[in-house]
Chains A and B, each alone.
Chain A
Amino acid sequence: MSIIKTGTSRRTVLKGGAVFAGTALAAPHLFVRRASAADYLNAPTGSTVTLGFNVPQTGPYADEGADELRAYQLAVEHLNGDGDGGMLNTMKPTALKGNGVLGKKVEFVTGDTQTKSDAARASAKRMIEKDGAVMITGGSSSGVAIAVQSLCQEAGVIFMAGLTHSNDTTGKDKRANGFRHFFNAYMSGAALAPVLEKAYGADRRAYHLTADYTWGWTQEESIKNSTENIGWETVETVRTPLGAGDFSQYITPVLNSGADVLILNHYGKDMVNSLTQAVQFGLKDKQANGKNFEIVVPLYSELMAQGAGEAVKGIFGSANWDWKLKNPGTEAFVKSFGQKYGQPPSQAAQTCYVQTLLYADACERAGTFNPCAVISELEGFEFDGLGNGPTLYRAADHQCFKKVLVVKGNENPTNQYDLLEIVEEVPVEQVMYDPSIFGGELGSCNPGV
């Protein structure tokens, strides 16, 4: 009773009301002031800047995802001036000083895309909204990359695509806020077809098994077009579900299809399983149409070669980069990565590392993290020393152009990592194309506010 009757009650109520009213009046002003302080989303206000690494930590591309994450961590270390600096020492030109980006220490958050578009969008959204990531990067699936790229465009942050090989990423689904360093299916076909013609002749009949999503479709189309251009006939194109696991029911029909080449438009674990099972079913030892039956893997990686083991020997494919390339950038990166993790980096690791450096360098040159300014710096940027030789980030579609590697499963590896042999470094002119052939519109940059 005495508590209720305290004499302060009226005064307290009045004081409380005044504070409440004051706060209520001031609050919108505070929010407006805070909003107007930055002209782009997630502008870093403290001494750090946060990047979001969105990679598959589970699912059929988890091996690539794990290696991408290693590369991102190494890139952050080098940007912050730790370690031996890696490709920061070889990149030309560069504005990076090894003291973070624009004087801010680089921090990162990670997400698991699970190789599913909805999960990838959810984790990217969380990193943008909750963690304040100013740039999202990663992926090992074009379906995921395209979904996250679209989210980043809507949200107003930059997306630096990791491993994505579909023509659509910088073709019909390209976005102003998205950039891709990795090569694409068109380039694979353009690089691979002449080598296949030299090795297997112009009179061949090909059977395609294709992962049933955007990457598989565009790769099938590109490889089909380029092999038909050298005279090959396409017998059949069969779609297989992503993560099918057992491919035996798709492989057995190949045997009497009249084909003498099997083209596997699969990647990651799917590729390991389909290639291993194709070899187990005796396709490599088979004769068809009076010729040796051949298998082609248009998109290769060292990680897949490790998984497939003996099955990859003598099989042709294409790659964005290989750790055995002889150039200062590659050597610097392989040294840093190998010493830190005890294994050579995969092409997925290299593209993710390079994307992080390219983004950081563009921010440094722009003097801001504002996506629109960063996009201006990246568009048309020409650089060297990052492992792939002279490279152009084409302004028209945000696609990088550089040499493409044609590789072959090594018949006589000298060590456990020497699984792919570089057959040819195809010059950029041979894989360049008109940006209008895939349609799509970049649109305009979105800074998020």
Chain B
Amino acid sequence: MDQILLQILNGLDKGGAYALIALGLTLIFGTLGVVNFAHGALFMLGAFCAVGLYQLLTLEMVSIDPNNMTPWGTPAEIRQPYIEAWFGEAGSTMLNFAVPLSILVAIPIMLVIGIVMERGLVKHFYRRPHAEQILVTFGLAIVLQEIIKVWFGANPIPIPAPEAVSGSADIGSWFGFAENAISYPWWRLVYLLFSVAVICAVFAFLQFTTFGMVVRAGMADRETVGLLGIDIDKRFTIMFGIAAVVAGLAGVMYTPILPPDYHMGMDFLVLSFVVVVVGGMGSLTGAVAAGFLLGILQSFASMTEIKSIFPGIDQIIIYLVAVAILLVRPRGLMGRKGVMEG
């Protein structure tokens, strides 16, 4: 039972990342009809917003300590981040909360990147075949990756979670198990809650705001909404920006789980596309549901008992499920009729 609870949590946690990326992908596909292969790169750019802020906050002033010698016979260096030297306790707190602070930095940056990307490149490919859209956005992803590689290097850069949430939570005791029977890293719980909060916020935005209502109407019938005198293109551009923000925030919060490197977007992109296809192209709820479902399935497939019967199943489970679902229901779990069909 404890193992099942742990695997569910583990799956929800992975699923949270899949769902956030797939949600952004579906938003773009649903509004603009563009298959955005640069979406993984947006996830990566979000993570590097956190890296950039962290590196800025950890810039160090170096002084020499003549009373302390190193084992190789030179005076030891004293290194202290400027932010701590200038602001003391407040500086240390800022450093400690670098990841949550990065959210504030990432939102405007990702919004601008999304809008520039849509206006500068993607809009020229609206009426082109999906294959061309995939090629051009994939090319853009490679360009963005290489820029990050040149700027930040190719090695993963570890970013710590705030100290208060860096250990693990004794979640077993919450459910009446013995002490320390089930522990789960705090930050992964934070990530899970964060992804649920972002997903709810996006749905609420689309459901309860006038802007969202118009966008939904535009997704259903773009021409009619345009005939009503609404500048639907402008709203769709903003939706592209919002999708970029969602991917970016998924990246920012993922940094303490896995040190970011320039290639991290590609690693998630393929899985996220499988999630979108399983959920149904163009279905926001489908993307979210499939994200969590596949995350949990992947997690259960890594259990010793399952792997002893099907060796290597953890590596291929997602693809097996995708094949099975597409055979039975070609438009995906919640796909709309006519989308990417015929």
Asked if B14 is at the interface of the complex by the 8 Å CB criterion, the answer is yes
Distance, CA A89 to CA B68, complexed state (A): 27
B3 touches A256 (CB 8 A): yes
A249 touches B299 (CB 8 A): yes
* B residues in contact with A353, CB < 8 Å: none
A276 and chain B: residue at smallest CB distance: B158
* B residues in contact with A434, CB < 8 Å: none
Distance, CA A280 to CA B180, complexed state (A): 12
Distance, CA A256 to CA B1, complexed state (A): 10
Asked if B298 is at the interface of the complex by the 8 Å CB criterion, the answer is yes
* A residues in contact with B73, CB < 8 Å: 335, 338-339
Chain B: minimal CB distance from A69 (Å):
14
What 0/1 readout, one digit per residue, does chain B (231-266) give for beta carbons within 8 Å of chain A?
Answer: 000000000000000000000000001110000100
User: How many residues on chain A are close to B (CB under 8 Å)?
Assistant: 41
Binds A, one of B196-204, B300-308, B331-339: B300-308
* A residues in contact with B153, CB < 8 Å: 58
B303 and chain A: residue at smallest CB distance: A253
B168 touches A280 (CB 8 A): yes
What 0/1 readout, one digit per residue, does chain A (93-114) give for beta carbons within 8 Å of chain B?
Answer: 0000000000000000000000
A338 and chain B: residue at smallest CB distance: B72
B304 touches A62 (CB 8 A): no
A337 touches B72 (CB 8 A): yes
A248-B188, A252-B7, A307-B158 known; A338+B71 contact, CB < 8 A: yes
* A residues in contact with B168, CB < 8 Å: 280-282
What 0/1 readout, one digit per residue, does chain A (240-258) give for beta carbons within 8 Å of chain B?
Answer: 0100011011101101110
A248 touches B72 (CB 8 A): no
* B residues in contact with A338, CB < 8 Å: 70-74
* B residues in contact with A294, CB < 8 Å: none
B3 touches A285 (CB 8 A): no
Q: A273 touches which one: B74, B183, B258 (CB < 8 A)?
A: B258
Distance, CA A324 to CA B73, complexed state (A): 14
Residues of chain A in range 279-311 having any CB-CB distance to chain B below 8 Å? 280-282, 285-287, 307
* B residues in contact with A287, CB < 8 Å: 180
B302 touches A253 (CB 8 A): yes
B295 and chain A: residue at smallest CB distance: A249
A58-B154, A344-B72 known; A256+B2 contact, CB < 8 A: yes
Chain B: minimal CB distance from A136 (Å):
22
Asked if A238 is at the interface of the complex by the 8 Å CB criterion, the answer is yes
* B residues in contact with A183, CB < 8 Å: none
* B residues in contact with A280, CB < 8 Å: 166-168, 185, 187
A255 touches B184 (CB 8 A): no
Chain B: minimal CB distance from A4 (Å):
52
B314 touches A62 (CB 8 A): no
A285-B180, A287-B180, A334-B72 known; A255+B188 contact, CB < 8 A: no
B183 touches A285 (CB 8 A): yes
B263 and chain A: residue at smallest CB distance: A243
* B residues in contact with A257, CB < 8 Å: 304
Distance, CA A360 to CA B72, complexed state (A): 26
B2 touches A334 (CB 8 A): no
Asked if A269 is at the interface of the complex by the 8 Å CB criterion, the answer is yes
* B residues in contact with A249, CB < 8 Å: 10, 14, 298-299, 302, 314
What 0/1 readout, one digit per residue, does chain B (76-115) give for beta carbons within 8 Å of chain A?
Answer: 1100000000000000000000000000000000000000
Q: B185 touches which one: A256, A281, A323 (CB < 8 A)?
A: A281
Q: B72 touches which one: A57, A238, A272, A335 (CB < 8 A)?
A: A335
B10 touches A252 (CB 8 A): yes
Chain B: minimal CB distance from A209 (Å):
11
Asked if B57 is at the interface of the complex by the 8 Å CB criterion, the answer is no
What 0/1 readout, one digit per residue, does chain B (182-195) give for beta carbons within 8 Å of chain A?
Answer: 11110110000000
What 0/1 readout, one digit per residue, does chain B (300-322) give for beta carbons within 8 Å of chain A?
Answer: 00111001000000110000000
Chain B: minimal CB distance from A381 (Å):
29
A58-B154, A58-B155 known; A339+B10 contact, CB < 8 A: no
Distance, CA A287 to CA B185, complexed state (A): 17
Q: B302 touches which one: A63, A252, A272, A285 (CB < 8 A)?
A: A252
* A residues in contact with B74, CB < 8 Å: 338-339, 342
* A residues in contact with B158, CB < 8 Å: 272, 307
- 7 example contacts (A-B, Cβ-Cβ < 8 A) are as follows A248-B10, A248-B14, A252-B302, A253-B3, A282-B170, A324-B71, A415-B76
Closest 10 CB pairs of A and B: A338-B72, A282-B183, A58-B154, A249-B302, A280-B185, A256-B3, A282-B168, A253-B304, A62-B155, A335-B72
